[in-house]
Structure 1
Amino acid sequence: MIRSLGDLVRRNARFFPDDIVTVHAGRRTSNRALLERSERLGAALLASGCQRQDRVSILAMNSDTYLEVMAGCWLSGLVLATVNFRLAAPEFEHILTDTRPQVLIFEATYGPAIDSIRARLDIGLYVCLDSDAFDWAIPYHALMDRGAGSLPDQQVQPGELATLIYTSGTTGRPKGVMRSHLAELTLGEQMAMMFDFRTGGRSLVVMPLFHAGAQSSSYAQLWRSGTLFIERAFDPARALEIVAAERITNLHFVPQMLQAVLDAAEGREVDTGSVETIAYAAAPMSPALLRRALARFGPVFVNGWGMSEGNGTCLPKHKHALTGPDARLLASIGQPNAKAAIRIVADDGSDCPPGVPGELWLRSASVMTGYWNNSVATIEALRNGWLRTGDVGYADPAGNIFLVDRKKDMIISGGENIYSQEVERALAEHPDVASVAVIGVPDDRWGETVMAVIVPRAGTRPTAEEIIAHSQRLLAGYKKPRHVRFVDALPLLPSGKIDKISLRRAFAGGTGIIQGESGS
């Protein structure tokens, strides 16, 4: 019986011992070998002084060893606390001070940053994955040597914490999301069902394993056995090469990644015939980009909506239609999955009728336990078994859900509510727009006005006047952008979402500091 994530590792080693579970940098690891090494690591962590539910932090890029550390924590009843490697030393300090791990496992490239803050941290043991150059840390192989013998079954319970993941910080300082084994198992099972993972599937992992996106698709493939092809980082051309060479069946991208893969595939003969599912999640995808993707890859796309705090809806493959009545669903996040319930709630707490936007509330076993060391935020987010997601959307009469914005991204101009995602979808229809973000900027007369920040398609030079004229054909006058800025790239959070906090900060005064800007 599967009661914890560690049980998945044990089950696959029992029934599929010689099947390959990970491929990374030329190494192929079997289910049996993963169990043996992760049990050895778990025993070593307990021998090093870790107690039940202590945190073990990891600061590293993707590798097969990353999954080994994950599994070692699952099997030993410890909490895996991931750290975003893209952060700066002060941000590492905030997260590690909040987490208070007993052990920090890190790659050598981050050693100097950790050393600069180490005096202010309370960490019992530092472990370097790939070097013995730090006299204040032991090498990973030395830690593994402490795990001689087998790890007794720790009888990890479903309600115990499995992971601690810090949010992208879209609404302020990152918060630690506490996720139980039950929540993670439910998430993996949902993903396996929604995204059509099958036994013996071959999944490419290119999103960072410190984030819920890559973790969730990894759980799904573990549920169905199969192989995880783990890449250290995302490279679109490299991803296409692996798909062709290794006959990958499952891909999981955020929209910005999918756009990069489409650009890399343009004009090339690349065999992608093995691909059965391309899941996209974490951020809205414009129907224009999705139509382009469908034309290139065919009807293999599945949309999943969720967040680090919980997982909720799915738009399945057969509802991704380019023509006919279902074509409008390309702008939808689909329906609640089989293990979730959704409410759309007005400000007064009542349920919104079809067509009326409200905040999406989610109930599911995949929902977090709460925020680490933050009871105020937990009480605000969790209400009588429901997670208040902060996303605003509406349902059509058939129950299909359409996102319109994050509550904190809604623009109020002259008393009118303007949903940034509606404006973004309209602007994305312009042939010269590669990607776009819409924000509100201060205005003395209207309170806020709409600004569009646009990355032009390669080889084009759209003007602000053209963009505004295009928007007037698709949107009410008060929704059109009053300002347009052109940039080389949009700032992204680790989840793949556009960092609108940075954009608002950059353009708060109507002028910007982002490279390549021009405007009306």
Structure 2
Amino acid sequence: MRTFADVLLRAAGQHGDRLAVRCGTADLSFAELVHRCRQVGGLLDALGTGPGDRVALWSANSAEYVEIYAGVPAAGRVVVPLNTRWTEHEIADAVVDSGASVLLCDRDPGTVAEALGEAGQVVRLDPDDGHAAPPALGYHDLLAAAPAAEFHAAHEDDLAGLFYTGGTTGRSKGVMLTHRNLLANTAHSQTTLPLVGPGDTGSGGAGPDVYLVVAPMFHAAGSNSVLQCIALGVPQVIVPAFDPAGCLEAIETQRCTTTLVVPAMLAALLEAHPAAGRDVGSMRLIAHGASPIAMEVVRRASEVFPNAELVHLYGTTETAPLLSGLRHEELLTDSDRGKSAGRPVLGVSLRIEGPDGRPAPAGAAGEVLASGANVMAGYWNRPDETAAALVDGWYRTGDIGLLDDEGYLYIVDRAKDMIVSGGENVYCSEVEEVLFRHPKVLEATVFGVPHERWGEQVHAVVVARDPSLTEAELVEFCRGSLAGYKLPRSVSFHDGELPKSGPGKVLKRELREPYWEGR
């Protein structure tokens, strides 16, 4: 299998009548899903798009999301998933940057519609789309009228998706992922998160899996399950929005066996379980990643989900996303090995580059570099940043880590100055840029501080120009420019100039250390 179309054709041929997607009361068999993916191509033809055109997708998890996510690349177009937690301004930036000519959304597009330009078209996915005010079109009516087009004869190096991730300049960057990248990641995932399809038998005699889709599908990690499940004939039970009680109910009633969550979601499931009283014995594998996790959460998870293997994943959007995995984390809570991000997945090579640019010896920290068929083609319309990130076939992750003498990876810092809060990436420079706009702010710096549930939260240190400045005033000022998860959750006011290095850079480590002592 080399392209999205190959995966879909395999599914239709091998698993046609079996359940592919369940979301609420809506069920799709694999044959129905593949037919609707063909209709997505027919719909895009009718809208006047052609191969290589970008199609933006701004939606919560849904059955429609699956068919669009798979159908757009199979039709030779490029899917552009958009973060539903972004503000309209942030969404519009990504739409403009991508050059998308079509926006498929499950909400009022507001000012984002203007970002498409005069020739752009908005298609509403929500159930009331037929009542959408012009110029929005209704997805379900358009799809019903669309012919089932033949899949595009794509090449594996053709662009399949543009996944936007925050940039250190405060602007989004489009990560170009090809068919090869995303299918390679599907194969890599199967070595670390082995799903069991119909007719197969997993370890311990496990039968066919039922995958619970909880993580937001606009993330590369959240949509990772789409291709893997379709390729293996594994049904996906989709939760539109994360609700701990609803997820526990789905596990019990649908007998879900596997899922991927961020640590904050796992912690919320553990908190909700006693009151919900649901039978979660069907779960056999729970993967987590995207932010740090406390060992106490892992211990509790192994008690609440006694039959589940816990897997810690590490990756980046630029690597489609999986790089390494630590299996059976529940058995390692009392060892240093439990703090690692595991070994590289099959098909991925990792190395540590020291400050001198040479490979670092085992146990020595340096920048983590990765290579493999899953590494991105580059950043959309950003040749300089692409050249800096991709060197001689290796992707510079910007993370600081080390490999021990058995090949286990340990992440020790983030050179990219990024906060991971509840699975969402927050770039400090973006928040700092907004803080500096406030007329009462003289200096500001931002970093992550520990949070029991979210892993990290945004903390700002500010030197005030006007002593009347308050924390509440600053947070409210930021609210109009930043998504909720990017807002400072705490602000401390610093007397005098912020500490700086010789070249004049703020010494964030010095400011951050007191918050992380003993962790």
Structure 2 residue aligned with 1:211: 219
**Aligned equivalents of 1:242 and 1:14: distance in 2?**
28
State whether residues 249 and 277 of structure 1, in contact with CA within 8 Å, keep that contact through their aligned partners in structure 2: yes
How far residue 49 of structure 1 moved from its aligned partner, in angstroms, is 1.5
* Deviation sequence 1:198-242 (CA, Å, 0-9, x none): 103211111111111111122222222111111111111111111
SS in 2 for 1:84: coil
Letter in 2 for 1:62: N
5+ residue gaps, structure 2, are 198-207, 433-442, 454-470, 472-483, 497-513
- In the alignment, which residue of structure 2 is the partner of 1:290? 298
After TM superposition, list the pairs within 5 Å mapping 1:365-380 onto structure 2. 365-380=373-388
Are 1:351 and 2:359 counterparts?
yes
Aligned amino acid, residue 184 of structure 1? L
The one-letter code of the counterpart of 2:124 is: C
C-alpha RMSD of the superposition: 3.2
Partner of 2:179: 181
Contact 1:47 1:146 in 2 (8 A): no
From the superposition, tell whether residues 293 and 32 of structure 1 become closer, same or farther in structure 2 (CA, over 3 Å): same
Contact kept in structure 2, 1:59 and 1:104, CA below 8 Å: yes
1:302 aligns with 2:311: yes
Contact 2:89 2:112 in 1 (8 A): no
Provide the secondary structure at the position in 2 that maps to 1:111: coil
Check conservation: 2:210, 2:236, Cα contact below 8 A. yes
**Correspondence 1:418-433 to 2 at 5 A:** none
* 1:312 match: 323
| Contact map agreement 1:304 1:313 (CA 8 A) in 2 | yes
Q: Deviations over 1:27-83 (max 9, x none)?
A: 110001011111012022123211111111111111101111122212211101111
Residue in structure 1 matched with residue 340 of structure 2 by the alignment? 332
The answer to whether residue 125 in structure 2 is matched with residue 125 in structure 1 is no
Q: Give the secondary structure class of the aligned counterpart of 1:256.
A: helix
Partner Cα distance (1:331, 1:178) in 2: 31
CA displacement at 1:507 relative to structure 2: 4.3
CA distance in 1, matches of 2:161, 2:2: 15
- Equivalent-residue separation in structure 2 for 1:171 and 1:236 (angstroms): 35
The letter of the residue matching 1:74 is P
How far off is 1:502 after superposition?
A: 4.7
Deviation at 1:265, TM superposition (A): 1.3
Q: Which has the higher contact order (CA 8 A, sep 6+)?
A: 2
Note if contact 1:4-1:185 (Cα within 8 Å) is conserved in structure 2: yes
Q: Which residue is equivalent to 1:37?
A: 36
Instruction: Check 1:353–1:455 CA distance in 2 against 1; reply closer, same or farther (3 A cut).
Output: closer
Q: How far apart, in 2, do the equivalents of 1:190 and 1:454 lie? A: 31
Q: Distance in 2 between matches of 1:508 and 1:502?
A: 16
- In the alignment, which residue of structure 1 is the partner of 2:3? 4
**Deviation per CA, 1:175-204, whole angstroms, max 9, x where unpaired?**
101100111011112112211211032111
For the residues of structure 1 that align with 2:349 and 2:119, how far apart are their CA atoms?
Answer: 40
Aligned amino acid, residue 186 of structure 2: G
Taking the aligned partners of 2:281 and 2:162, their CA distance within structure 1 comes to 37
Query: For residue 370 of structure 2, what is the amino acid of its counterpart?
Result: L
Matched to 1:51, the amino acid is: G
- Asked if the contact 2:56/2:104 (under 8 Å) is kept, the reply is yes
Query: What's the offset of the Cα at 1:365?
Result: 0.6
Verify the 8 A CA contact 2:5 2:152 in the aligned structure 1.
Answer: no
Number of residue-to-residue matches in the alignment: 438
Q: Distance in 1 between matches of 2:452 and 2:153?
A: 54
Which residue identity does 1:160 align to in structure 2? D
Following TM superposition, by how much is the alpha carbon of 1:360 offset from its aligned partner in structure 2, in angstroms?
A: 0.4
- 1:66 match: secondary structure: helix
Does the residue aligned with 2:259 lie in a helix, a strand or coil? strand
Whether the 8 Å CA contact 1:105–1:128 is kept in 2: the answer is yes
How many angstroms does 1:124 deviate by? 2.8
Amino acid at match of 1:88: T
- One-letter identity of the residue aligned with 1:50: T
- TM-score, reference length from structure 1: 0.77
Q: Partners of 1:395 and 1:187 in 2: how far apart? A: 22
Q: Spell out the pairing of 1:85-484 with structure 2 (5 A cutoff).
A: 85-107=84-106, 109-115=107-113, 117-118=114-115, 121=117, 123-130=119-126, 131-132=129-130, 133-148=132-147, 150-169=148-167, 172-199=170-197, 200-266=208-274, 269-298=277-306, 300-310=309-319, 311-317=322-328, 320-323=331-334, 327-409=335-417, 453=449, 455=451
CA contact (8 A) 2:302 2:330 kept: no
The one-letter code of the counterpart of 1:179 is: L
Query: SS of 1:8's equivalent?
Result: helix
- Deviation per CA, 1:333-385, whole angstroms, max 9, x where unpaired? 01111110001111221111122111100001111111111111111111110
